[in-house]
A and B are shown apart, each in its own frame.
Chain A
Amino acid sequence: MRNDVASEISYDRLNALVDRELDPIEEGRILDAIRHDPALEQVVCELRTTKDLIRHAYQQVTPDRGRSPGGPAKSRRWLAVAAVALVAFGAGGGWLGHAWHQGGHEADFARLTRGSGAGPQVGTTDHVVLHISSSAPDRVSGMLDEAEGMLRAARETGRPVAVEIVANSTGLDVLRVDVPSQASRLLTLRADYPNLTLVACGQTIERLRAQGIAVQLLPDTAIATSALDQIVRRIREGWTYVRA
């Protein structure tokens, strides 16, 4: 009788048992069968051991807290950046950029910069750092649309603004003259708005150099140690961060 019960217990039910996925009735039925079937008990024991081994094998795995020299820099220290952005969001009554992505750039900008305490805390000028880390055409054109929308809205409302585009990873392409991109639009934009500045990620440039690629940047593009260091610096200075 007991063997009949045990033979009905499939391997996936035993897995479910060790994963605590069974309802109390089925769990009780299987535990009762296990008590009377040493082989079944051994299988369950083995499953638990395997589960413990896996947990043990990855127990000590923790992320590096700093950037590893020479390693991929695509998105390191993102949380630190975001954390600072959130603090800025709370302390300054600023914003994190979600509203911006939801359309109505000019209106949003006018709303966000209207009244006391609504803007970043750097004098009376609004400061926005736009971060681009992708060369995907929709991301690039979206970022340029955002920059243009902010600058135009500021000009129309007479509110001083400073916009800085920081580019890294494949997003650096937008600042390169040696890569077909929307560089011409960016040049036009900057000619129209002197309060737009461009900053390239030094680490991305170094990585490309190591691959034998000589990066040529748009005129007057500054080079930061890294994009994320620049962003952290700007956020600490009270700039509003927007990820394109």
Chain B
Amino acid sequence: MNLVSLLRRSRGFQARLEECRTPLFRVAQAWCHDRALADDLAQEALAKALEHADQLRDPERLRSWLFGIMANCWRDHLRASRPTVDIDALDEECVDADPTPDEACGRAQIVNLVRTAVARLPLGQRQTLTLVDLEEFSYAEVAAILDIPIGTVMSRLCRARLALREYLRQSNAPSIPRLRSAK
């Protein structure tokens, strides 16, 4: 690759990374519900992406590659902050039921209610749900980003949405009709 094409790719690459900053931050915020940490996660993912730009073989996969990097950053953060906890087990456990900052701001607001419901989901479900619903990644892409089987993506998604529905229903969210379960 000559310098001109390298330069062109670099600038295009840079522009595409910049476009991804807000989506990365949004998903990171949905994962950790901490703005400072979300910003760090998004920026760390971007820095690592630049550092390892040569590892991206298919430019079309930039977004899923970036979110995969951020998922690893998040796991690294959890490992560092909870060295005695099995992170893989954490994927399936509710992290805590403490009120989040969003929760403290007012349950009446549907936005806060939904964010609270998302924050209460087990980590793995939260990651899967937000990647599918916020960024519209396919199941296959989510499986690659989180390094899990597609079947796990589907089961986490089902459980996440059922839990959300239940939480929102109990909270009398105005937009959620009371429904019977489907099989």
State A40–B173 Cα separation when bound (angstroms): 21
Q: Check if B182 sits within 8 Å of A62, measured CB to CB.
A: no
Known: A12-B158, A39-B180. Is A58-B132 also a contact (CB below 8 A)? no
> Which residue of chain A has the shortest Cβ distance to B53 in the bound complex?
A98
Q: Chain B residues near A24 (CB, 8 Å)?
A: none
Interface size on A, residues (CB 8 A): 50
Q: Which positions 125-176 of chain B face chain A at CB distance < 8 Å?
A: 129-130, 132-134, 138-139, 154-155, 157-158, 161-162, 164-165, 168, 173, 175-176
Q: Chain B residues near A64 (CB, 8 Å)?
A: 35, 39
Stretch at the interface among A76-84, A152-160, A181-189: A76-84
Q: How far is the CB of A243 from chain B (nearest CB, A)?
A: 6
Q: Chain A residues near B18 (CB, 8 Å)?
A: 79, 83
State A43–B87 Cα separation when bound (angstroms): 33
Q: Check if A75 sits within 8 Å of B50, measured CB to CB.
A: no
Stretch at the interface among B57-65, B90-98, B108-116: B108-116
**Size bin of chain B's contact surface:** 35 or more
Q: A49 within 8 Å of B by Cβ?
A: yes
> Which residue of chain A has the shortest Cβ distance to B47 in the bound complex?
A78
Q: How far is the CB of B74 from chain A (nearest CB, A)?
A: 14
Q: Chain A residues near B139 (CB, 8 Å)?
A: 16, 19, 21
User: Secondary structure of the B side of the interface?
Assistant: helix
* Contacting residue for A56 out of B21, B29, B114, B130, CB 8 A: B114
State A143–B36 Cα separation when bound (angstroms): 27
Q: How far is the CB of A184 from chain B (nearest CB, A)?
A: 27
Q: B67 within 8 Å of A by Cβ?
A: no
Q: Chain A residues near B7 (CB, 8 Å)?
A: 89-90
Q: Check if B21 sits within 8 Å of A89, measured CB to CB.
A: no
* Contacting residue for B36 out of A21, A71, A89, A98, CB 8 A: A71
List 7 tightest A-B contacts by C-beta distance, closest first. Answer: A57-B114, A63-B25, A78-B43, A90-B7, A43-B182, A75-B43, A54-B133
